[in-house]
Structure 1
């Protein structure tokens, strides 16, 4: 279960010092064809009742229908909307708030049908290039050009570019994140352990062994083992990248049975089995956050968004946790890049009102509103350079703010490993087929963590699945 005082944001479901080029496949070729195939599947899945009531845009004039994930930052926004946004603009917002898996399904159905039941929805940098290629989203360029106060240039470049396709912006971030390593400074001090500012995974494994049992019931590290392309495969894929592996070579040759992919997976599985949490095969982001909060683990590698929960008012470990860059082996950095962002459905006839909502929800003023109402650690950060210059935010989030900013700034979805890739993505491969491929492979890896199969057998099965995807891409 998540922490009782601050439920976690959704799992990213996932960094490099070089500037990233636009996270944007071409509108033509394999990506376009795969997007069309995805559209056909979603049309079949969503044909029953996808249109909803109210026709285009739903809800009538002066009302926006917004579909969003149920993380705490979104719930906070829902609470603030009527008193602030609606009061200022006269635009009423009807929210539909769902868990991540459910919201992804519903968004996919509504946007692929262009049913227009929802004007605005939360989508990520995984969906944006696919949805844009299939013409399911309103480009936002004209609205951005007419709204100088929004400050598009203030959006952190990797986040901004991950939502840009062929030079056009298709979504605006609500918050952004990367990944890093969190550790109990007090426990390390008591055990005489030193955490490097930029650790290697080899060093992390050594530290996990020494920290294991440092306090009664404490394990050395918590790592996700729960099946899901956005659960265990998110952190594991970053480990694969930095160990020199990849899901696909540039020519779409699958790499799951390569020595590098196997070494990384064996390392991850071995580490969590030896020094990780009990029930690791059923542990995801929420469970690791709870374990870290309750003092049951000395280290945790996961989303930078987790720091807000650890440093929240009332957290038993507030002020006791240190934050360092994502561990590496062969790459300079290895943290992922993820953002929940606002996209406007192409079928909506309310793009003007939709932009007013997005401009408010992703604007600089909203961050100050949250800081003053809910505390600065609760600000949906990770998207704007200016956030990190706010004195109140730096004071409240000082333990993790700069490490987070550096991790996001270093993220390069085009070049996350040691070899060229056929598609962008750090903790995922930005193709429509990855949701199924990643999930099915994750089930095999989770079984290996549980001891029901070997890593070799898991990756052999994964290679077969990846070969089928590659066959449709070559």
Structure 2
């Protein structure tokens, strides 16, 4: 009897010791719907890994970028896993700031990752430095009922001229319907993601081949004039404060005739539990102006391990779980196939269950595959990136220019003044950084 009690006591002590020695991973992530959903499903991970606990730091997109960039650049060590984008991965990899993901497991199947997404996350050594949680391009989401009421038919590949005409005809402000919702919130990954991709379709570019800023050229004037006038005529009130999440809410509540944004939004606008217009949504490719480039971007939100963490092994276990085929199946079981994280794996787009549940699947894949980060603009550019410029200085520059363009949208300055100041500040910074000799 004494021996049995002693053994039980030893086992209890061991369990307590195991709990006390559990590693806590601090994970910084963005407050987008797919990440919120992931947090609700992490009991599956902790059940399989009882020696690992999770501490979530969930932040608005602009704040997340600022916090993780500051932390990794200063070796702050606040986070063991960071949610970062396609922009950061190659830059931070070259700086030696990220841990290579060499041990994701035999059944992870790296080769199943979509080539367009994987390429942006692979270092010059051929190793993966971040794993994609979801991938996206951008496209048009629209109300089929309002389009029909306006007497129009949305083409699969619309022009900006068609979109603008449709937006104005669909607008009924007395009924609370804005013809179009577009990003206006300042930030290099908020309004400037949309406007940079749109500018590509209008023939504009951030820099010429010699890194000279191009905001003083007519193509940028055409882009910004078009955008501001369209939003004044057919956009929601206070649009300069609206980013991805704000426009998502407006569309789900029935206040937008069209929304041009990330393809990942499709599962949320078509989900009857979250969207009042779920059965009325159609999809089309991002618009063009006939110059050979569409305004669709290429992006992935990825999980990566900062080089300063002491918990890389546990962090990699979590990343392998969250970006695996099994996680996709888990979401499908709990939430339905239409709500699984899109845009990362070829196998998902070969899955008949997903294709049947997600009417946006083919348009999403076509948009991702059509994006060309190495040749984003109509004319040659010295940079890589569709909706961003893959240089370290862009994060600050994009946000500063985004503030100017958001002010123009809000009517706080003219389009001409916003462009003139963008040209001035960008020239100054690029000269200081040594790009312009």
The count of aligned residue pairs is 411
What CA distance in whole angstroms lies between the structure 2 residues aligned with 1:375 and 1:189? 30
1:322 is aligned, of 257, 282, 285, to 282
What does 1:282-431 correspond to in 2, within 5 Å?
A: 282-314=241-273, 315-329=275-289, 330-398=291-359, 400-431=360-391
Unaligned runs of at least 5 residues, structure 1: 1-58
Structure with bigger gyration radius: 2
Q: CA deviation at 1:90?
A: 3.5
- Other structure's SS at 2:301 match: strand
- Residue 123 of structure 2 is matched in structure 1 by 165
Paired residue secondary structure (1:273): helix
Is 1:68 aligned to residue 24 of structure 2? Answer: no
1:417 to 1:91, Cα distance in 2 relative to 1, 3 A: farther
Aligned to 1:137: 98
RMSD: 1.9
The answer on whether the counterparts of 1:179 and 1:302 sit within 8 Å (CA) in structure 2 is yes
Q: Which runs of 5+ in 2 are unaligned?
A: 1-19
Distance 1:222 1:438, change over 3 A: same
Corresponding residue SS for 1:149? coil
TM-score, normalising length from structure 1? 0.82
Deviation of residue 115 (structure 1)? Answer: 4.3
2-structure distance, mates of 1:263, 1:456: 11
Following the alignment from structure 1 to structure 2, what is the Cα–Cα distance between the partners of residues 126 and 169? 15
Asked if the contact 1:91–1:353 (Cα under 8 Å) also holds between the matched residues in 2, the reply is no
Q: Structure 1's 93 and 101: CA in aligned 2 closer, same or farther, altered over 3 A?
A: farther
Q: 1:231 is matched with which residue: 174, 182, 190?
A: 190
Measure how far apart 1:454 and its partner are.
1.3
TM-superposed deviation, 1:75: 2.4
Given that residues 62 and 90 in structure 1 are in contact (C-alpha distance below 8 angstroms), is that contact kept between their aligned partners in structure 2?
no
Match of 1:271 in 2: 230
C-alpha displacement of 1:87: 1.9
Distance 1:316 1:266 in 2: 32
- 1:179 and 2:111 correspond: no
> Which residue number corresponds to residue 197 of structure 1?
156
Q: For residue 40 of structure 1, what is the aligned residue in structure 2?
A: none
1:458 matched to 2:407? The reply is no
1:364-383 Cα distance to aligned partner (Å, 9 max, x none):
11011011112223211111
Relative to structure 1, the CA distance from residue 93 to residue 105 in structure 2 (aligned partners, 3 Å threshold; closer, same or farther) is: farther
2:46 is matched with which residue?
Answer: 86
**Residues 155-177 of structure 1: CA deviation (Å, up to 9, x unaligned):** 11111111122133210100011
| C-alpha displacement of 1:219 | 2.1
What is the rounded CA distance, in whole Å, between the counterparts of 1:282 and 1:149 in structure 2?
44
Distance 2:242 2:54 in 1: 34
Aligned to 1:440: 400
Q: Residues 219 and 62 from structure 1, CA distance in 2 versus in 1: closer, same or farther, beyond 3 angstroms? A: closer
Question: TM-score, normalising length from structure 2?
Answer: 0.89
More relative contact order in 1 or in 2 (CA 8 Å, sep 6+)?
1
Q: Is the 8 A contact 1:447 1:453 kept in 2?
A: yes
Separation of aligned partners in 1, 2:393 and 2:246:
28
1:168 aligned counterpart, secondary structure: coil
